[in-house]
Chain A
Amino acid sequence: MTGNNRAVTGRLAISDLTIRFGSRQVVAIDGLRLDHAEILGLAGESGSGKSMTTLAVLGLAHTVGANVSGSIRLDGQELTGLSQEDLRAIRGRRIAAIFQNPSTAFNPVYRVGTIMTRALALHGATKSEAADRATDAMRQVLLQPDLMRRYPSQLSGGQLQRVAIALAVALRAEVLLADEPTSALDVTVQAEVLDLLRDLRESIGMSILFISHDLAVVAELCDRVAVMRQGLIVEQGPAGQVLSAPANPYTIELLESVPKLAGTT
């Protein structure tokens, strides 16, 4: 790694980041930024380090036994090296995350609304304020606020993923880490969730790090794309450019692996 002083700016800026398990280095990223109201796609095959990178941004990499060094800045504030206490205030509140399988991302013993209002209360909202904000957020993701009275098992996968996004909205998160948020959903629901993410970027200027191995989805949604392989970013640039005129042999390989319907080009 060349430790340089090249300033990486943006809402979320990662430089010189390395993640290790013991002596094995799994991720080494130098220079990845996410701007205000931008959707950045992070693509790559399984095991390329996409999810480890999100865990590191959340400050949770140590929970799976990894060591993180380097710099992760949120609006210029350094996150690596912050105490767990300080990080807890940032997680959820400023950086929210949604996960691959929404049906397992909610504790089955509580009502959806309870989960939402508790999370809001945790980050300083009063009870009535929390209820109002949760209701507003539900409307914003085009869900009936009534659904907050239901248990997670009574909602569909698409609805739950919207609730997860609503929670990020209610928390007024600036950065949303979306780790394969549509992989477990069927295609029509997937399209709705993608529309929703696009809307949020427009309406509240949310910055979204969209992690996916599905290049078709990345091409459709993202402004810029970073392609990861074996923990390194092999190519990064505007989505159109990277996906239509890839420079890196791995990107070309990855694009060729996307199945095409006969007759379409």
Chain B
Amino acid sequence: MIETPTITPPKAAIPRGAMWRGLRANPLLAVGGGVVLLIVIVAIFAPLVAPFPADAGTATHPFEVLKAPSAAHWFGTDQVGRDILSRVMVGARVSPVIAVIVLALACLVGIPLGVAAGFLGGWVDEVIMRVTDVFLAFPPLLLALALAAVLPASLTSLTIAIAAVWWPWYVRLLRGQAASVAGRPYVEACRALGISRLSIIFRHILPNSITPVLVQVSLDVGGVILTASALSFLGLGAQDPVPDWGLMVAEGQNYFTPDWWLVTFPGLAILVTAFAFNLLGDGLRDLFDPRRSFLR
């Protein structure tokens, strides 16, 4: 349907249903969003829907050890007889939650610093960006590994270690955006109107430069989950009996042949989650991209 321009405008500036049209035009976004939603639901209701909720913890079942997938245990059982399906489901509360906390911390640090650097410029910009460069100089996984190794092995340390290597990317991203928005005529117009700097930052710079960050965050969820899993795999994060996917893969690798299911199902959970968030991020980027905007 083509809308003809009219003299008296419709009240709603963005046509209603634009979101839905966007979803339909972009099935990958719908798939990614759907899977993410499913993961969130599983995470919330895991103790209720998991067939053996107690297996997420310290339970042991000596007679059920290393059973192959069956009707009773869809994903099989692990080396102490715990139901892997239950552990994977409860595991949706571990690394995805870590990812959310890590990204929230990274945004909390990265966004203000990025805006300050991009908008204020000068020596503020120099100081912030040089410090950021120092962090960016290290390979992220290596730096996170070093930090996690220094801190006592726990989920909190893991979260802190990953957040500490993640924020500099957001500073970079937002600084570029903020600097470009700061040079736009409407910011000059704001100054000419006598609007204060704080108000310019919050009402004009931030809303116009935040979109790429939102997209990057959704793309990064997968990355953080992979990093957290890698660190847990190396024994630096979650400790048994926490049903962290990365840790489950690590513990299962001793049994990989012939008991393949110990590694495969937690590994698939990591894969699917990371992939779904990537699809979501890609879809959001297309949706917000003015050159390919579905909001027109």
Interface size class of A (residues with CB under 8 A): 35 or more
A87 contacts across to B, CB distance below 8 A: 194
CB–CB A123/B194 < 8 A: yes
Residue of A nearest to B186 (CB): A107
> Is A93 an interface residue when CB atoms closer than 8 A count as contact?
yes
What is the count of residue pairs linking A and B with beta-carbon distances less than 8 angstroms? Answer: 74
Partner of B195, one of A105, A119, A171: A119
CB–CB A88/B194 < 8 A: yes
> Is B185 an interface residue when CB atoms closer than 8 A count as contact?
yes
> Is B61 an interface residue when CB atoms closer than 8 A count as contact?
no
Within 8 A of B (CB), among A76-121: 87-93, 96-97, 99-101, 104-111, 118-119
Could you tell me the distance in whole angstroms from the C-beta of A147 to the nearest C-beta in chain B? 8
> Is A13 an interface residue when CB atoms closer than 8 A count as contact?
no
B189 contacts across to A, CB distance below 8 A: 97, 99, 105-106, 164
Could you tell me the distance in whole angstroms from the C-beta of A194 to the nearest C-beta in chain B? 21
CB–CB A108/B208 < 8 A: yes
B204 contacts across to A, CB distance below 8 A: 107
> Is A151 an interface residue when CB atoms closer than 8 A count as contact?
yes
CB–CB A93/B194 < 8 A: yes
B257 contacts across to A, CB distance below 8 A: none
A252 contacts across to B, CB distance below 8 A: none
Could you tell me the distance in whole angstroms from the C-beta of A233 to the nearest C-beta in chain B? 23
A150 contacts across to B, CB distance below 8 A: 9, 13
Also in contact, A105 and B186, with CB within 8 A (given A60-B192, A93-B194): yes
Interface of chain B, helix or strand or loop or mixed?
A: helix
Task: Give Cα A63 to B199, complex, Å.
Answer: 17
Q: What 0/1 readout, one digit per residue, does chain A (101-145) give for beta carbons within 8 Å of chain B?
A: 100111111110000001100110000000000000000000010
Residue of A nearest to B12 (CB): A149
Partner of A109, one of B192, B194, B195, B208: B208
Partner of A151, one of B13, B184, B194, B199: B13
CB–CB B194/A105 < 8 A: no
Within 8 A of A (CB), among B189-245: 189-196, 199, 203-204, 207-208
> Is A239 an interface residue when CB atoms closer than 8 A count as contact?
no
B203 contacts across to A, CB distance below 8 A: 107, 110, 118
> Is B291 an interface residue when CB atoms closer than 8 A count as contact?
no
Also in contact, A154 and B9, with CB within 8 A (given A107-B186, A108-B208, A109-B208): yes
CB–CB A60/B208 < 8 A: no
Q: What 0/1 readout, one digit per residue, does chain B (236-277) give for beta carbons within 8 Å of chain A?
A: 000000000000000000000000000000000000000000
Residue of B nearest to A150 (CB): B9
A122 contacts across to B, CB distance below 8 A: 193-195, 199
A149 contacts across to B, CB distance below 8 A: 9, 11, 13
CB–CB B188/A88 < 8 A: no
Could you tell me the distance in whole angstroms from the C-beta of A62 to the nearest C-beta in chain B? 11
> Is A58 an interface residue when CB atoms closer than 8 A count as contact?
yes
> Is B8 an interface residue when CB atoms closer than 8 A count as contact?
yes
B193 contacts across to A, CB distance below 8 A: 91-92, 96, 119, 122, 167, 171
Residue of B nearest to A103 (CB): B185
CB–CB A58/B192 < 8 A: yes
> Is A146 an interface residue when CB atoms closer than 8 A count as contact?
yes
Within 8 A of A (CB), among B1-41: 8-9, 11, 13
Could you tell me the distance in whole angstroms from the C-beta of B211 to the nearest C-beta in chain A? 10
Task: Give Cα A93 to B195, complex, Å.
Answer: 11
CB–CB A92/B208 < 8 A: no
Task: Give Cα A87 to B191, complex, Å.
Answer: 10
A110 contacts across to B, CB distance below 8 A: 203
Could you tell me the distance in whole angstroms from the C-beta of B16 to the nearest C-beta in chain A? 15
In the complex, the 9 A-B pairs of residues with the closest C-beta atoms, listed nearest first: A92-B193, A91-B194, A92-B194, A88-B194, A97-B192, A104-B185, A105-B185, A109-B207, A107-B186
For this complex, 14 residue pairs linking A to B, each with C-beta atoms less than 8 Å apart, are: A58-B191, A63-B191, A89-B194, A91-B192, A92-B192, A92-B194, A92-B195, A93-B194, A105-B185, A105-B188, A107-B203, A111-B13, A122-B195, A123-B194
